[in-house]
Structure 1
Amino acid sequence: MIFTLLSTSLAILGVSAAQTTPVFAPPAACPVCTSGNYTGQNNGSLPIQPRVSGKAYSRFIQIWLENTDFDTAQASSTFSKLASEGILLTNYNGVTHPSEPNYVASIAGDFFGMSDDNFYALPPNVSTQIDLLEAHNVSWASYQENMPYIGFSGDYAQKNYLDSSSKVPYTYYKRKHNPFIICDSIASVPARMNRIRNFNDFAVDVNASALPSWIFITPNLVNDAHDTNVTFVSAWLEYFLVPLLENPKFNDNETLILLTFDENEDYKSQNTVYTLLLGGAVSPYKGTVDSTFYTHYSSLSSVQNNWGLGSLGRQDTNSTVASVFQFQANMTNHTNVVSDATPLMNLTGIFPGVCASQRWIPVTAPNMSVIGAGGGPVFTSNVTSNVSVDNTMPINLTAMRVVNPATINPNYTMPSSGTEVNAISTSASASPSSSVAASSKSSAGYANARLPPAMTTGLVCLFFTVLLL
């Protein structure tokens, strides 16, 4: 009865029931083949760089999927098959809800008060794992399926390759799943922007043996299960990941692959997501289970531990939520801290941060007194904040009718590198400029440049004073 009513309602709207449940179709002939379905042409391969040997692996690849409960993924025969090829992490957790703050936390060590999937651009004084990797010459790249071109800063709709008869553009690519474009310390630097690549670039890089040492892969909105389900994403994994596990240019005995979900679907339960460690680096542990408590911050601490990196001085150094992968900890003589009480990772709400308009605070200084799992110093730069969290009082920008600077597009965009294939439309916030903005700004200059000019009340003057501290 419910299905009949739903079908009738969809029919009234001109949408068939079949359109609501797309059937998987390979977007390319193979995982390392280029395709017009990916929209953006390839930009040539990255330069081949020597891999830096780590203590447990010399290449780390993470692949992120979307919004699926642990038990739902576990019921998939594909995930069960993959689990037999690696280590199943039964207590790996997202750090909050919804999606975007999880992606940001995975490279920046915090989600900075982000509590929704809106447009944010974190200021240049937010350091990331990229700073730590580059400090030790560890090469990196991100591959974003259906991103139309390097430097694109919005959402992207294109011809629906799953339904050739459809005249309605489909949004396959979402900015909120690309944490690199959200962080101005990456997006404002052209050399870094060039490493935020599409899946045609991925195919070229694999075939040229040019994959870097640290890789972040984001499938599009159907292939990551966001707009589909576990059956669809299982088919994508059979097409994409299963063959790549046998490709020595992608996976060898020094490769660790983290396959995870950003968050679970059930906000009421602990935010545990089905997560696997795969690749040649864990071949001695095939088919095993690890019940250690991990979160997305563990991907930061584990990489730092592997390459002896510094830290961000944020949640990546919080031993309670950033345990190093246990197989690796055993190899590096790292001791994980076991907490008496498991932290709740499904908390939602408005927490103070530079993204929280109702409880806004500037970016606070990292904790300089901690030593992370890599043993190196906390990263600082000439724009690192020195604002103490203890002396920061949240400001309600919404009540003041002040636009939060972190919600304004800084337009760090680059010209399209080639003709866009199957291009239909782009978001209004993402129109490309003729050049990249200056590659560095002070935190104060950043704030001033992105505030409305006509603020003259005494209350707003007080706001400026706090902002420029």
Structure 2
Amino acid sequence: MSGWTLPRRSRTAVLSAVGLVAASAGLWVGLGGDAQAAGAVPTPAHTLVVVMENHAYSQVIGSSSAPYINSLATGGANLTQNHGITHPSQPNYYALFSGSTQGITSDACVKIGFSSAPNLGSEVTAAGGTFGSYNETLPSQGSTTCSSGNYAQKHNPWFGFSNVPTSSAKTFAQFPTDYSTLPKMAFVTPNLCSDMHDCSVSTGDTWIKNNLGAYATWAKTHNSLLVVTFDEDNSQSGNRIPTVLYGQPVKAGSSNGTTYNHYNLLRTLEDLAGTSTHAGQAASASDFSGIWN
């Protein structure tokens, strides 16, 4: 019937019912400026993050020296405008892990457990998940040494927090072959050669392929995720860094040109793990979007 409308009371009832259905389906999580689509970030069984060193986006993405990382970008998601926070390396690791540089401005070895601030490790554990790290050339599980050969503590921010057990830091020799036994959220820290800090892009790319390639293949069919990112660009191009995500939850061949940084990555990792809180500046950061299945 042309021009016919529901009476006001009926319209109100219909809108309320629609709102209840949407809320129960997880489509809305709030009202106002902070409203965000629930379910926009998936909940993988395992997320593995590897942080490489000191290379700009253009030095890796599209480079013939990094065929494996580029294959992950092609088969997964490529963030074309992700950025580090500052220079040098260490404060970027703290920003990525805790939403704050925690006052760190250098690469000097920190006091173990100097901070009790919330961080990804403590949040995942509080949410009932598991957290751990696998550190190449770390002398032994939980070792708090500042350096040992090509190992450098400055790339392991979890040691700075009293609410993350030092025992959660394992050697890379302890990286499991049964990937289902990995923590829900885990980091891999290659040593100073394997992470491209002291050695070439090709060396680091080959290290990822040889050591994490089997996990990446497994993740594609086991609801799991591999994240490859960098700490900083070594002052090459506005701190624009490569960041690639690969696995079953990721839309193959997707990309996002939104300007992001380590706080957005932390927020995304928190939401992937289902934490109830967000550390530091991750609380006001947005998730990575447009890349999920």
TM range (shorter): 0.7 to 0.9
Asked whether the 8 Å contact 2:136–2:191 carries over to 1, the reply is yes
Superposition map of 1:31-180 within 5 A = 55-74=42-61, 75-76=63-64, 77-121=67-111, 123-157=114-148, 171-180=149-158
What is the CA–CA distance in structure 1 between the aligned matches of 2:222 and 2:198, rounded to whole Å? 34
Matches of residues 204-223 of structure 1 in structure 2 within 5 Å?
A: 205-207=176-178, 209-223=180-194
Question: Please, which of 233, 241, 251 is the counterpart of residue 273 of structure 1?
Answer: 241
Query: What is the identity percentage for the equivalent residue pairs of Structure 1 and Structure 2?
Result: 28
Give 1:208 shift.
7.2
Q: Is the 8 A contact 1:123 1:185 kept in 2?
A: no
Determine the C-alpha separation between the residues in 2 that align with 1:304 and 1:207: 24
Displacement of 1:254 in angstroms is 1.3
Structure 1 stretches lacking a partner, 5+ long: 1-53, 158-170, 187-191, 332-469
Does structure 1 residue 289 correspond to structure 2 residue 255? yes
Q: Whole-Å Cα distance in 1 between the matches of residues 150 and 168 of structure 2? A: 20
Distance 2:99 2:254 in 1: 28
Cα distance in structure 2, aligned partners of 1:66 and 1:137: 31
Q: Structure 2 unaligned segments of length 5 or more: list them.
A: 1-40
Task: Label 1:193 to 1:112 Cα distance change in 2 as closer, same or farther (>3 A).
Answer: closer
1:280-302 deviation per Cα after TM superposition (whole angstroms, max 9, x unaligned): 111xx212221122211122211
Q: How far apart are 1:194 and its partner, in Å?
A: 1.9
- The separation in 1 between residues aligned to 2:243 and 2:194, in whole angstroms, is 17
**TM-score normalised according to structure 1 size:** 0.50
Change (3 A) 1:304 1:156: closer
The residue type equivalent to 1:95 in the other structure is: I
Is residue 117–residue 176 contact of structure 1 (8 Å, CA) maintained in 2?
yes
The match for 1:338 is none
Distance 1:147 1:309 in 2: 28
What RMSD, in angstroms, separates the aligned Cα atoms of the two structures? Answer: 2.1
- Tell me the residue number matched to 1:245: 216
Aligned-residue offset at 1:62: 0.6
The 5 Å alignment of 1:438-457 reads: none
CA offset at residue 251 of structure 1?
Answer: 5.2
- Counterpart residue number, 1:354: none
- TM-score, structure 2 length as denominator? 0.78
Question: Does the alignment pair 1:314 with 2:285?
Answer: no
Partner of 1:430: none
Counterpart in 1 of 2:168?
195
**Deviation string for 1:347-376 (max 9, x for gaps)?**
xxxxxxxxxxxxxxxxxxxxxxxxxxxxxx
Q: CA deviation at 1:313?
A: 4.9
Is contact 1:293–1:323 with CA below 8 Å preserved after alignment? Answer: no
Q: Within 2, Cα distance between the matches of 1:84 and 1:62?
A: 18
Q: Does structure 2 conserve the Cα–Cα contact (< 8 Å) formed by 1:253 and 1:281?
A: no
Tell whether the 8 Å contact from 1:73 to 1:230 is kept in structure 2 after alignment. yes
Q: 1:95 to 1:177 in 2, by over 3 A?
A: same
**Larger RCO of the pair (alpha carbons < 8 Å, separation 6+):** 2
Letter in 1 for 2:142: G
Between the two proteins, the alignment pairs up a number of residues equal to 249
CA contact (8 A) 1:141 1:215 kept: yes
Distance 2:232 2:140 in 1: 27
C-alpha contact 1:101 1:116 (8 A) present in aligned 2: yes
Flag the 1:120–1:286 CA change in 2: closer, same or farther, 3 A.
same
Equivalent AA in structure 2 for residue 195 of structure 1: S
Distance (whole Å) between structure 2 residues aligned to residue 141 and residue 200 of structure 1: 14
Partner of 2:201: 230
For 2:43 and 2:181, the matched residues in 1 are separated by 21
User: What is the one-letter code of the residue matched to 2:162?
Assistant: D
Report the CA distance between 1:82 and its aligned residue.
2.1
1:325 partnered with 2:291 = no
**Residues 95 and 102, structure 1, Cα contact 8 Å, conserved in 2:** yes
Q: Could you give the per-residue CA deviations for residues 2-26 of structure 1, whole angstroms, max 9, x where no partner exists?
A: xxxxxxxxxxxxxxxxxxxxxxxxx
Q: Tell me the residue number matched to 2:224.
A: 255
| Equivalent residues of 1:260, 1:274 under 8 A apart | yes
Contact between 1:64 and 1:217, CA under 8 Å: does it hold in 2?
yes
Distance verdict in 2 for CA 1:68–1:297, change over 3 Å: same
8 Å Cα contact 2:216-2:225 kept in structure 1:
no
- In 2, the alpha carbon distance for the partners of 1:252 and 1:113 equals 41
In the alignment, the residues of structure 2 paired with residue 236 and residue 245 of structure 1 have an alpha-carbon distance, to the nearest angstrom, of 13
Return the structure number with greater strand share: 2
